[in-house]
């Protein structure tokens, strides 16, 4: 399809979306309910969680009719509500959590297929809080099959479900066919757990599998020439070593210790087990439905429909739906999409949530659309300064999920946050990882929250370049350097560094490290010597980081929002402003570009995914992305962690 045809299609799709309600102001998290990926569970039909795929009701009158018809159960489909359900009478909600828990849904322009379902974390938590405020809602029935979450995301969901229970005011029941580690950890919040016959529970503890790529790089003819500052800065290891170093094994050991502690504590608290019993069950690891019940891991062995009747005790129920759109042509939304009017934001003092997701890159990156997957130094620092100057923004919450990247961009963002903090509270909420550059941009906040299993710290610097001369030679391509000046080939991709070039790069990196230390020391109220002792590239869990003063409190995004509202004196009922906002036509045009990954690497990734699975392929892909970023950013504050955590 031609680009002009694609853009025309996108304009028409947006133009046909229904009118907004007053609650939609500011593109609040609540307004994103349809994209949360949390759908109803009766006939085990899940929402895709992809914007536009679940919103037929927003595609004008025809779309509204299609959505209404498709939402009706067919003659062989499960019911959407119990026969006697009425929303103004006591009832339960049923919901399926299927898909990968993520900060934001990545918007894909591909017309050939949709990405896997995504569960957007903050909108889901907002929906749970709203449901808990309904006096007619007496409980929640969850199905957890197909849930993909890391330990930090599982903790945040666990906390959100605990809030929903309200100290016993409401009940949660969970059902699954199979549950593995994080999914079962989430189920421990449930008052009653059911499992299908022939199902399986796996609670195998915590594991880290480092993925070293040197052998693959040798086959591809790629040489990584890397320098690092800090004894624990293991960014080069997967590229230059065939096995983890002693320092890396020590770091990973501490991380899996924390993951293991979280899993065991979930069993102790949720299933009322002793520490010894919880340890014994984890060591056994694998349980059939009947053995899981005998061990106290579940309460019932039954198919979903039977369990629903048992758990609800005859109470009425309905599926937990998101908000539905209208059926009218929304000219205002078309204007916003075309960039003719600015996005709507709350008209009263409010809290702005700024997402900082992905690698930190120089310049403008891919704009607002790219902000869902990358952190562009110029783009994000400009947005923060605009929010700092906006009197209606009473506080800023920076949600960080990043392993870092460009040192230049990290400093630009850190400076913008320092300036913003002088005018209003700036609260940082760390997700799965906020390390190296991700920690750099967090250290100077008014207050920093991390989850117990967050990976943070890694205060250090890595620099390098890649040498592809052998790889080109394997393709029959020979290169020759003709230059003037002793270091004319210093940044060439056809040679490794000389000793003098390496020394010069290391001297620059030392300066970068000193500035990094000073920024952290300034933000954390410590001396650079104190920070250096806990820096040197060492990755810490949230628990360890708090003990060392790198973060202030343990908690998730909701705790950070509560702190921001308290400091800014903003009520819970005031909508949030979300950055990045919904994309405009300009954002989409700027984001259309070619794939830059080398063909040989693409082929290797396809083979890895086919043989080792998506998780391993994703880790390898992210590592190669970081490696090839050295072509533009030779000195970085980045943690390179090609590790599969289970």
Instruction: Verify cis geometry, omega within 30 degrees of 0, for the bond prior to 580.
Output: yes
Taking residues 604-618, report their average pLDDT. 74
Grade residue 38 by pLDDT with cuts at 50, 70 and 90: very low
Strands 223-229, 300-301: pairing kind: unpaired
pLDDT of amino acid 110:
47
Q: For residues 177 and 187, what is the distance between their CA atoms, to the nearest angstrom?
A: 12
Grade residue 581 by pLDDT with cuts at 50, 70 and 90: confident
Q: Looking at 5-14, 109-118, 547-556, which range is the least confident one?
A: 5-14
Q: Looking at 103-107, 497-501, 570-574, which range is the least confident one?
A: 103-107
Q: Which residues contact 443 (CB under 8 A, 6 or more apart)?
A: 414, 519, 520, 522, 523, 524, 550
Q: Looking at 44-58, 121-135, 545-559, 623-637, which range is the least confident one?
A: 44-58
Tell me how crowded residue 602 is: count the other CB atoms within 10 A of its CB. Answer: 13
pLDDT of amino acid 535:
92
What are the distances in angstroms from CA 635 to CA 50, 251, 448, 465?
36, 23, 26, 9
Q: Looking at 47-51, 194-198, 575-579, 592-596, which range is the least confident one?
A: 47-51
Q: Where in the chain is the domain with CATH 3.90.226.10?
A: 343-472+493-645
- Top-tier CATH class for 17-58+73-105+115-176+183-191+303-328: alpha beta
Q: For residues 17 and 55, what is the distance between their CA atoms, to the nearest angstrom?
A: 9
- Cβ proximity of 352 and 387 under 8 Å: yes
Give the CA radius of gyration of the chain: 25
- Cβ proximity of 383 and 579 under 8 Å: yes
User: What are 219-269's pLDDT values in tens digits?
Assistant: 888 888 888 777 766 657 788 888 888 888 888 899 899 999 999 999 999
The model carries a pTM of 0.80
Q: For residues 348 and 328, what is the distance between their CA atoms, to the nearest angstrom?
A: 28
Q: Looking at 196-205, 480-489, 592-601, which range is the least confident one?
A: 592-601
Query: Pick the residue with more confidence: 628 or 139?
Result: 139
CATH topology of domain 343-472+493-645: 2-enoyl-CoA Hydratase; Chain A, domain 1 (3.90.226)
């Amino acid at each position: 399809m031609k680009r002009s045809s694609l853009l025309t299609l996108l304009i028409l799709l947006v133009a046909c979306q229904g009118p907004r309600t007053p609650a939609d102001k500011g593109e609040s998290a609540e307004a994103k309910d349809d994209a949360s990926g949390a759908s109803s569970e009766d006939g085990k039909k899940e929402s895709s969680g992809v914007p536009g795929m679940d919103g037929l009701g927003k595609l004008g009158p025809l779309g509204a009719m299609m959505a209404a018809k498709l939402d009706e159960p067919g003659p062989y489909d499960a019911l959407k509500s119990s026969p006697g359900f009425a929303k103004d009478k006591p009832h339960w909600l049923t919901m399926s959590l299927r898909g990968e828990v993520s900060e934001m849904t990545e918007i894909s322009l591909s017309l050939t297929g949709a990405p896997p379902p995504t569960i957007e974390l903050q909108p889901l938590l907002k929906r749970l809080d709203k449901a808990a405020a309904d006096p007619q809602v007496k409980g929640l029935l969850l199905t957890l099959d197909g849930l993909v979450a890391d330990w930090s995301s599982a903790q945040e969901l666990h906390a959100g479900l605990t809030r929903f229970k309200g100290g016993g005011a409401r009940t949660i029941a969970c059902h699954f066919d199979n549950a593995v580690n994080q999914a079962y950890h989430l189920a421990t919040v449930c008052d009653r757990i059911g499992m299908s016959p022939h199902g399986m529970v796996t609670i195998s503890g915590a594991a880290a599998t480092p993925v070293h790529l040197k052998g693959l790089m040798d086959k591809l003819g790629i040489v990584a020439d890397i320098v690092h500052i800090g004894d624990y800065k293991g960014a080069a290891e997967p590229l230059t070593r065939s096995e983890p170093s002693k320092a890396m094994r020590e770091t990973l050991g501490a991380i899996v210790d924390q993951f293991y502690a979280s899993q065991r504590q979930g069993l102790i608290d949720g299933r009322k087990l002793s520490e010894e019993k919880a340890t014994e069950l984890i060591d056994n690891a694998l349980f059939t439905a009947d053995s899981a019940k005998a061990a106290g891991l579940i309460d019932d062995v039954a198919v979903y429909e039977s369990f629903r009747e048992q758990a609800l005790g005859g109470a009425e129920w309905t599926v937990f739906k998101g908000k539905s759109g209208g059926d009218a042509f929304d000219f205002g939304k078309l204007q916003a999409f075309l960039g003719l009017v600015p996005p709507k934001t709350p008209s009263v003092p409010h809290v702005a949530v700024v997402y900082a997701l992905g690698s930190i890159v120089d310049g403008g990156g891919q704009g607002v659309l790219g902000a869902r997957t990358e952190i562009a130094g110029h783009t994000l620092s400009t947005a923060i300064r605009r929010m700092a100057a906006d009197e209606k923004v009473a506080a800023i919450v920076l949600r960080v999920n990043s392993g870092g990247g460009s040192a230049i961009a990290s400093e630009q963002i850190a400076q913008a946050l320092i300036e913003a903090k002088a005018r209003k509270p700036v609260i940082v909420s760390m997700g799965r990882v906020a390390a190296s550059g991700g920690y750099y941009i967090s250290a100077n906040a008014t207050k920093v929250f991390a989850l117990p299993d967050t990976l943070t710290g890694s205060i250090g610097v890595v620099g390098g370049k890649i040498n592809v001369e052998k790889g080109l030679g394997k393709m029959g391509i020979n290169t020759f350097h003709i230059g003037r000046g002793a270091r004319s080939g210093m940044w060439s991709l056809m040679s490794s560094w000389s000793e003098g070039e390496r020394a010069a790069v290391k001297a620059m990196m030392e300066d970068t490290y000193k500035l990094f230390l000073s920024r952290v020391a300034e933000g954390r109220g410590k001396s650079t010597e104190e920070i250096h002792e806990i820096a040197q590239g060492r990755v810490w869990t949230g628990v360890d980081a708090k003990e060392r003063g790198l973060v202030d409190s343990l908690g998730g995004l909701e705790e950070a929002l509560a702190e921001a509202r308290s400091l800014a004196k903003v009520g819970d009922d005031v909508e949030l402003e979300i950055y990045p906002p919904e994309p405009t036509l300009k954002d989409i045009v700027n984001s259309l570009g070619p794939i830059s990954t080398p063909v040989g690497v693409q082929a290797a990734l396809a083979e890895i995914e086919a043989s080792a699975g998506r998780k391993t392929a994703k880790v390898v892909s992210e590592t190669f992305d970081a490696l090839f970023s050295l072509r533009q950013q030779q000195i970085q504050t980045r943690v390179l962690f090609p590790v599969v955590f289970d």
